[in-house]
Amino acid sequence: MGAGRRERDGDGSTPPEHPTITFSPSAEFPPLSETELGALHDVGQRWRADLGGHRPRDAVLPLDPSLEQYRRPPAPGRFGRLGRIEMFRTERRGQLTATGSADASGTRLRRTLARLRRVLLGPPLASAAVLQERMRKLVALPVLSSDLLSSVAYGPEAMLAILVLAGSGALGLSLPIAAGLVVLMITVGTSYRQTIYAYPHGAGSYLVASDSLGPRFGLTAAAGLILDYVLTVSVSVAAGIGAITSALPGLTPFTVPLGLLVIAGLLAGNLRGVRAAGKIFAAPTYLFIAAVLLLFAAGLAQAAARGFTPVPPPPVGAVEGLGLLVVLRAFASGASSMTGIEAVADAVPAFRPVEWRQARTTLTWMVGILVVLFAGLTILIDFNGLVPRGDETLLSQLARRTFPTGPWYALIQAATTMVLLLAANTAFNDFPRLLFFMARDSYAPRRFLHMGDRLAFSNGIVALAVAAALVFVAFGGYTQSLIPLYAVGVFLAFTLSQAGMVAHWRRHRGRNWRRRAALNATGALLCGLVLVTAAITKFVEGAWVVVLAVPLLVLLCLHIRWHYDAMRQALALPPPDTPDPDQGGRPDPMGRPNRVAESTGPDDLLVDQTPREVRHLVVVPVARLNLAAMRALAYATSLGQPVFAVHLSPEQEEADRFRRQWETWGDHLRLETIISPYRTVIAPLAQYVEALHTVRPEVTLTVVVPEIVVRHLWHKLLHTRTELRLRRALRDLPGVVVTSVPIHLPE
Amino acid sequence: MGAGRRERDGDGSTPPEHPTITFSPSAEFPPLSETELGALHDVGQRWRADLGGHRPRDAVLPLDPSLEQYRRPPAPGRFGRLGRIEMFRTERRGQLTATGSADASGTRLRRTLARLRRVLLGPPLASAAVLQERMRKLVALPVLSSDLLSSVAYGPEAMLAILVLAGSGALGLSLPIAAGLVVLMITVGTSYRQTIYAYPHGAGSYLVASDSLGPRFGLTAAAGLILDYVLTVSVSVAAGIGAITSALPGLTPFTVPLGLLVIAGLLAGNLRGVRAAGKIFAAPTYLFIAAVLLLFAAGLAQAAARGFTPVPPPPVGAVEGLGLLVVLRAFASGASSMTGIEAVADAVPAFRPVEWRQARTTLTWMVGILVVLFAGLTILIDFNGLVPRGDETLLSQLARRTFPTGPWYALIQAATTMVLLLAANTAFNDFPRLLFFMARDSYAPRRFLHMGDRLAFSNGIVALAVAAALVFVAFGGYTQSLIPLYAVGVFLAFTLSQAGMVAHWRRHRGRNWRRRAALNATGALLCGLVLVTAAITKFVEGAWVVVLAVPLLVLLCLHIRWHYDAMRQALALPPPDTPDPDQGGRPDPMGRPNRVAESTGPDDLLVDQTPREVRHLVVVPVARLNLAAMRALAYATSLGQPVFAVHLSPEQEEADRFRRQWETWGDHLRLETIISPYRTVIAPLAQYVEALHTVRPEVTLTVVVPEIVVRHLWHKLLHTRTELRLRRALRDLPGVVVTSVPIHLPE
Three-state SS annotation for B287-303: HHHHHHHHHHHHHHHHH
DSSP per-residue string spanning B203-267? --HHHHHHHHH-HHHHHHHHHHHHHHHHHHHHHHHHHHHHHHHHHSGGGGGGHHHHHHHHHHHHH
- Would A272 be classed as within a structural domain? yes
CB contacts, 8 Å: B37 with chain A: 661, 664
Contact across the interface for B668 and A47, Cβ inside 8 Å: yes
Are A410 and A324 in contact by the 8 Å Cβ rule? The answer is no
Contact across the interface for B612 and A127, Cβ inside 8 Å: no
Residues B476-501 have pLDDT tens digits of 877 767 766 777 887 888 888 888 88
| Final residue before a domain boundary, out of B564, B580, B597 | B564
Three-state SS annotation for B357-391: HHHHHHHHHHHHHHHHHHHHHHHHHHHCCCCCCCC
Q: What domain range is B687 assigned to?
A: 614-744
A620 and A666 inside one domain: yes
Contact across the interface for A612 and B127, Cβ inside 8 Å: no
Contact across the interface for B664 and A41, Cβ inside 8 Å: yes
Number of Cβ atoms within 10 Å of the Cβ of B276: 17
CB contacts, 8 Å: B688 with chain A: 88, 96, 98
A160 and A106 inside one domain: no
Of A28-42, A670-684, B11-25, B679-693, which range is least confident? B11-25
CB contacts, 8 Å: A733 with chain B: 742
Helix (H) or strand (E) holding B458: helix B458-474
Q: What is the ipTM of this complex?
A: 0.79
Contact across the interface for A40 and B637, Cβ inside 8 Å: no
Binned at pLDDT 50, 70 and 90, residue B164 comes out as confident
Contact across the interface for A84 and B687, Cβ inside 8 Å: yes
- Would A20 be classed as within a structural domain? no
Rounded Cα–Cα distance for residues A691 and A684 (Å): 10
Decide: residue A39, CB within 10 A, 0-12 exposed, 13-18 middle, 19+ buried. buried
B418 and B543 inside one domain: yes
**Neighbouring residues of B257: CB distance < 8 A, sequence distance ≥ 6:** none
Number of Cβ atoms within 10 Å of the Cβ of A108: 7
Are B425 and B266 in contact by the 8 Å Cβ rule? The answer is yes
Rounded Cα–Cα distance for residues B160 and B174 (Å): 7
Nearest to B641 among A91, A639, A671 (CB): A639
- Would B56 be classed as within a structural domain? no
Residue type (1 letter), B412: I
Question: B23, B28, B29, B87: best mutation site toward chain A, by most A Cβ within 10 Å?
Answer: B29
B445 and B531 inside one domain: yes
- Would A128 be classed as within a structural domain? no
Contact across the interface for A673 and B96, Cβ inside 8 Å: yes
Q: Give me the residues of chain A with pLDDT under 50, please.
A: 1-21, 75-81, 103, 132, 579-606
pTM reported for the whole predicted model: 0.78
Contact across the interface for A739 and B739, Cβ inside 8 Å: yes
Chain B residue with CA closest to A561: the answer is B718
Rounded Cα–Cα distance for residues B94 and A674 (Å): 9
| Final residue before a domain boundary, out of A564, A598, A618 | A564
| Cα Rg, chain B, nearest whole Å | 33
Contact across the interface for B700 and A40, Cβ inside 8 Å: no
B363 and B500 inside one domain: yes
- Would A163 be classed as within a structural domain? yes
Contact across the interface for A61 and B670, Cβ inside 8 Å: yes
Residue type (1 letter), B432: P
Contact across the interface for B668 and A97, Cβ inside 8 Å: no
Are B243 and B96 in contact by the 8 Å Cβ rule? The answer is no
- Would B32 be classed as within a structural domain? no
Compute the count of residue pairs across chains A and B with CB atoms less than 8 Å apart.
Answer: 494
Please check the confidence at residue B149 and state whether its pLDDT lies above 70.
yes
B625 and B560 inside one domain: no
Contact across the interface for B98 and A676, Cβ inside 8 Å: yes
A643 and A691 inside one domain: yes
pLDDT at position A646: 92
B628 and B551 inside one domain: no
CB contacts, 8 Å: B626 with chain A: 36, 571-573
DSSP category for residue B82: T
Instruction: State CA A472 to chain mean position distance.
Output: 19
Please check the confidence at residue B529 and state whether its pLDDT lies above 70.
yes
Please check the confidence at residue B6 and state whether its pLDDT lies above 60.
no
Nearest to A661 among B40, B450, B658 (CB): B40
Contact across the interface for B57 and A670, Cβ inside 8 Å: yes
Contact across the interface for A627 and B572, Cβ inside 8 Å: yes
Torsions phi, psi of A453, nearest 5? -75, 0
Rounded Cα–Cα distance for residues B346 and B204 (Å): 4
Residues B393-447 have pLDDT tens digits of 788 788 888 888 778 888 888 888 888 888 888 788 788 888 988 998 999 998 8
A115 and A190 inside one domain: no
DSSP per-residue string spanning B384-413? TT----SSS-HHHHHHHHH-SSSTHHHHHH
Contact across the interface for A127 and B679, Cβ inside 8 Å: yes
Of A681-690, B99-108, B298-307, B522-531, which range is least confident? B99-108
pLDDT at position A257: 92
Nearest to A734 among B41, B695, B742 (CB): B742
Torsions phi, psi of A71, nearest 5? -75, 150
The residue that leads in pLDDT, B26 or B209, is B209
Instruction: State CA A85 to chain mean position distance.
Output: 35
CB contacts, 8 Å: A94 with chain B: 659, 670-673
Rounded Cα–Cα distance for residues A268 and A284 (Å): 18
CB contacts, 8 Å: B655 with chain A: 95
Please state, in angstroms and as integers, the Cα–Cα distance from residue B642 to each residue in A56, A556, B619, B702, following that order.
Answer: 8, 45, 9, 10
CB contacts, 8 Å: A41 with chain B: 664-666
Task: Assign B690 to helix, strand or coil.
Answer: helix
Q: Provide the shortest C-alpha distance from residue A493 to chain B (in Å).
A: 25
Helix (H) or strand (E) holding B151: none
Are B395 and B416 in contact by the 8 Å Cβ rule? The answer is yes
> Within chain A, how many helices (H) and strands (E) appear?
24, 7
**Neighbouring residues of B155: CB distance < 8 A, sequence distance ≥ 6:** B333, B334, B335, B336, B337, B338, B374
A203 and A92 inside one domain: no
**Neighbouring residues of A567: CB distance < 8 A, sequence distance ≥ 6:** B708, B745
A112 and A222 inside one domain: no
CB contacts, 8 Å: B54 with chain A: none
Are A99 and A126 in contact by the 8 Å Cβ rule? The answer is no
CB contacts, 8 Å: B720 with chain A: 446-447, 450
Contact across the interface for B105 and A731, Cβ inside 8 Å: no
CATH number of the domain where residue B682 is located: 3.40.50.620
Rounded Cα–Cα distance for residues A168 and A176 (Å): 15
Q: Provide the shortest C-alpha distance from residue A427 to chain B (in Å).
A: 23
CB contacts, 8 Å: A25 with chain B: 650-651, 679
Q: Provide the shortest C-alpha distance from residue A338 to chain B (in Å).
A: 34
Nearest to B628 among A97, A571, A611 (CB): A571
pLDDT at position B593: 39
Domain count, chain A: 3
Are A430 and A147 in contact by the 8 Å Cβ rule? The answer is no
Contact across the interface for B62 and A745, Cβ inside 8 Å: no
- Would B13 be classed as within a structural domain? no
| Final residue before a domain boundary, out of B564, B596, B627 | B564
Rounded Cα–Cα distance for residues A262 and A421 (Å): 8
- Would A585 be classed as within a structural domain? no
**Neighbouring residues of A213: CB distance < 8 A, sequence distance ≥ 6:** A496, A499, A500, A503
Task: Assign B102 to helix, strand or coil.
Answer: helix
**Neighbouring residues of B165: CB distance < 8 A, sequence distance ≥ 6:** B318, B319, B320, B326
Are A59 and A594 in contact by the 8 Å Cβ rule? The answer is no
Rounded Cα–Cα distance for residues B289 and B294 (Å): 8
Of A387-401, B8-22, B136-150, B719-733, which range is least confident? B8-22
Binned at pLDDT 50, 70 and 90, residue B554 comes out as very high
What percentage of chain B reaches a pLDDT higher than 90? 15
Spatial CA neighbour of A680 closest among B517, B450, B292: B450
CB contacts, 8 Å: A689 with chain B: none
A93 and A160 inside one domain: no
